[in-house]
């Protein structure tokens, strides 16, 4: 009887996440689709001007999409070397005593609230960039990329270390047996064997970066223009939603446009997660860890 009760409870909890997902999707479609009837799908996605409060308003989100892309690419360039390098160091190079100290320090980064990262970017990174690059403002895509990259390091590091741990010990032993040294084994045997798992970590790190709101709202600059360099102020999609939702009248075109942005963002992050799952499954099958 107890087992049936526990099974029922866990089944309800498992299916509740599906219910929440379906509810979110329904709300996004319900509130976001009306703007496409007025503006048009391609005009909305590829329009080059975002002026929702002008008369007449313009609802082109291409500057917001490109801003999110620039910031995400920059964050990946920061978090991948740091995250994968940290995972390799923790799993392959340091002693158990050193690992016991270093791993919690890296994971602490994941527990810091995003608003704290935002304040760090505003107070420390912004003046530094402004001084070094002689910018009128240090609030720019480069600033957001640096901060988001550091925020994504724990995700990439943790998942990459899991991928490295799945590599069979026999791979390393066989490499040493044919005369390879430690560096050759690491770069030519361990990394290729864990490549799919590390790719999954990178994809999920990208998903973490593109979905962040508070940090990019504080340090990206907030300019809804098409960026031409990392040193220009930008407004990613998440920042636009957070900054403008409180001022958009209920059921107005501006209101529906913000929900449509959320819908686009949902499909982007959903695609990243599908890619990560696909790569992860290929990784497990490749190593014979699943049927």
Q: What value does the mean pLDDT of the chain take?
A: 88
- SS3 category, 123: helix
Q: Class of 62-286 per CATH? A: mainly alpha
Q: Which residue has the higher pLDDT, 234 or 171?
A: 234
Residue 98 has pLDDT above 60, yes or no: yes
Q: Show the beta-strand stretches assigned E in the chain.
A: 50-51, 58-59
Q: Do residues 165 and 99 lie in contact, with contact meaning Cβ atoms separated by under 8 Å?
A: no
Q: Do residues 275 and 201 lie in contact, with contact meaning Cβ atoms separated by under 8 Å?
A: no
Residue 263 has pLDDT above 90, yes or no: yes
Measured CA to CA, the distance from residue 188 to residue 139 in angstroms comes to 41
Residue 288 has pLDDT above 60, yes or no: no
Q: What is the pLDDT of residue 48?
A: 92
- SS3 category, 221: strand
Q: List the chain domain ranges.
A: 62-286
The stretch 258-277 carries a mean pLDDT of 89
Q: Do residues 266 and 260 lie in contact, with contact meaning Cβ atoms separated by under 8 Å?
A: no
Tokens 């080059």 sit on residue? 48
Measured CA to CA, the distance from residue 146 to residue 210 in angstroms comes to 13
User: What digits encode the pLDDT tens for the residues 37-80?
Assistant: 889 899 999 999 999 988 889 999 999 999 999 999 999 999 99
pTM: 0.86
Residue 289 has pLDDT above 70, yes or no: no
Q: What is the pLDDT of residue 17?
A: 85
What percentage of the chain reaches a pLDDT higher than 70? 96
Tokens 């709101």 sit on residue? 213
DSSP state of 234: B
Q: What is the pLDDT of residue 264?
A: 94
User: What digits encode the pLDDT tens for the residues 210-223?
Assistant: 888 889 999 999 89
pLDDT band at 287 (very low <50, low <70, confident <90, very high): low
Q: What is the pLDDT of residue 69?
A: 93
The stretch 178-190 carries a mean pLDDT of 84
Q: What is the pLDDT of residue 285?
A: 61
User: What digits encode the pLDDT tens for the residues 118-149?
Assistant: 999 999 999 999 999 999 988 999 999 999 99
């Amino acid at each position: 009887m107890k087992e049936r009760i526990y099974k029922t409870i866990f089944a309800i909890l498992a299916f509740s996440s599906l219910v929440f997902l379906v509810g979110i999707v329904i709300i996004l479609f319900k509130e976001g689709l009306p703007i496409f009837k007025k503006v048009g799908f391609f005009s909305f996605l590829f329009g080059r001007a975002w002026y929702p409060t002008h008369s007449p308003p313009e609802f082109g989100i291409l500057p917001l999409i490109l801003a999110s892309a620039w910031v995400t690419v920059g964050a990946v360039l920061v978090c991948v070397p740091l995250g994968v390098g940290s995972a390799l160091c923790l799993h392959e190079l340091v002693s158990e005593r050193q690992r016991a100290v270093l791993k919690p320090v890296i994971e602490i980064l994941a527990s810091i609230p995003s608003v704290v990262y935002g304040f760090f970017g505003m107070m420390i990174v912004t003046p530094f960039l402004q001084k070094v690059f002689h910018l009128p403002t240090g609030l720019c895509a480069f600033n957001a990329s640096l901060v988001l990259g550091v925020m994504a390091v724990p995700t990439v590091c943790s998942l990459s270390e899991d991928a490295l741990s799945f590599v069979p010990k026999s791979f390393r032993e066989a490499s040493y047996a044919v005369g390879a040294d430690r560096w050759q084994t690491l770069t030519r045997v361990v990394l290729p064997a864990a490549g799919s798992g590390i790719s999954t970590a990178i994809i999920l790190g990208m998903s973490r970066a593109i979905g962040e709101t508070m940090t990019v709202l504080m340090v990206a600059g907030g300019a809804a223009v098409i960026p031409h360099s990392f040193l220009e102020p930008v407004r990613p999609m998440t920042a636009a939603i957070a900054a403008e939702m409180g001022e958009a009248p209920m059921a107005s075109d501006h209101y529906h446009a913000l929900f449509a942005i959320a819908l686009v963002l949902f499909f982007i992050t959903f695609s990243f997660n599908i890619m990560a799952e696909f790569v992860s499954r290929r990784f497990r099958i490749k190593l014979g860890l699943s049927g």
